[in-house]
Amino acid sequence: MSVQETAVQATALRELDSREAPLVRVRDLTVRFKGARDVFAVNGVGFDLPPGRVLGILGESGSGKSVTLKTLLRLLPENRTDIGGTVEVQGRDVLALEGRELADHRGGVVSMIFQDPMLALDPVYTIGEQIAEAVMRHEGLDASAAMKRALEMLERVRIPSPERRLKAYPHEISGGMRQRAMIALALACRPELLLADEPTTALDATVQMQILLLLRDLQKEFGMGVIFVTHDIGVAVEVCDEIAVMYAGEFVETGTVRDVIRDPKHPYTKGLLAANLHGAQKGTRLDAIPGAPPPLDTAPTSCSFAPRCAHVQDRCRAAKPPAAVLGPGRMVRCVLAEGAAAG
């Protein structure tokens, strides 16, 4: 081996060693709900999430965003759900976890902030009892130390009068405080991965911004990876590093927030941006995407967006478009992106 070849190999090995392994690795994820009519909710999703990064999954209701999150926690009903592909968190196969290993995974390694905290929190236990229970289960602390951690977490999420709120039941506090309590519960055991399923949907604009800024601050403080599900582009811009646009159970475009927002390539992404209130002039009509998302009772064999697309071609209806890779982390699943990928 020549000196030059040796130097090239050494450089490649150093780059490989310095490359951090992904916190989350998903490959060809499929989720099918079995019933009188099967529902193909997720169809071939794949992505990597490095530690300490925030991925936003953006799309309309019914596109498979929440199902993807729940798969990472194994919260889907196993008796009527068929899951395929690979799902790894910290190198461990999530789909193979059973019993105590699965219980340790939920809350200890991966936590979730649910969309409606009133439904997620137990109405018969106080806020403090619910947080303390999680800490005792995952970290083995006694009741006194666990309650101290619960108070500390309420202070971290900036709930006013935390000592009093510790003894309050969920129905005794406001929606904004319930959401902060839900965040405190999710972060109490210092998970490596936080899943946030539209956590600000039911809040007014002022409280929503406070929660978003709080989440971003806590994410940086704890160094967590975060997957943030939303249908609001403005929310995605505030908290995310990368964006994956999801439609009919597939990622149709991925990239950094800057790339996707400033230079969208997929017609669906362009439609979402055009239908956004931010920047719209008063008195003008929003550019709504015509039609509705397709039924998911069959696995897609062609472009799912073709019936709503203004740029549809015959080949879009004949087969699924291949994923055009435009750069590191930048992917578009559309025939219109083929020229950009070739360039």
Residues 170-185: tens digit of each pLDDT: 999 998 899 999 999 9
For 38-79, give the DSSP string: -EEEEEEEEEEE-TT-EEEEE--TTSSHHHHHHHHHT-S-GG
Kindly report which listed range (2-11, 87-96, 239-248, 328-337) carries the lowest average pLDDT score.
2-11
Which CATH number fits the domain that encloses residue 314? 3.40.50.300
pLDDT at 47: 95
Q: Is residue 46 part of a domain?
A: yes
pLDDT at 163: 95
pLDDT at 111: 95
Q: Is residue 5 part of a domain?
A: no
Region 52-62: mean pLDDT is: 94
Phi, psi of 197 (to 5 degrees): -100, 90
Q: Is residue 257 part of a domain?
A: yes
Return the percentage of the chain with pLDDT > 90, whole number.
67
Q: Is residue 160 part of a domain?
A: yes
Q: Is residue 15 part of a domain?
A: no
Greater pLDDT, 279 or 84 = 84
CA–CA dist 61, 59 (Å, integer)? 7
Kindly report which listed range (15-19, 54-58, 107-111, 121-125) carries the lowest average pLDDT score.
15-19
Domain tally for the chain?
1
Q: Is the CA virtual torsion 55, 47, 201, 147 positive or negative?
A: negative
Residue 228's domain comprises 21-279+296-342
Residue 18 has pLDDT above 50, yes or no: no
Q: Is residue 306 part of a domain?
A: yes
Write the CB contacts of 35 (distance below 8 Å, at least 6 apart in sequence): 80
Q: Is residue 205 part of a domain?
A: yes
Give the dihedral of Cα atoms 150, 151, 155, 157; nearest 10 deg: 20
Residue 1 has pLDDT above 60, yes or no: no
> Which residue intervals of 188-242 are DSSP H helices?
205-222, 233-239
- 282 DSSP assignment: T
Residue 164 has pLDDT above 90, yes or no: yes
Q: Is residue 14 part of a domain?
A: no
The pLDDT mean for the chain works out to 88
Greater pLDDT, 313 or 339 = 313
Which tens digits make up the pLDDT trace of 280-335? 566 677 778 888 899 999 889 999 999 999 999 999 999 999 899 999 889 999 99
CA–CA dist 68, 211 (Å, integer)? 23
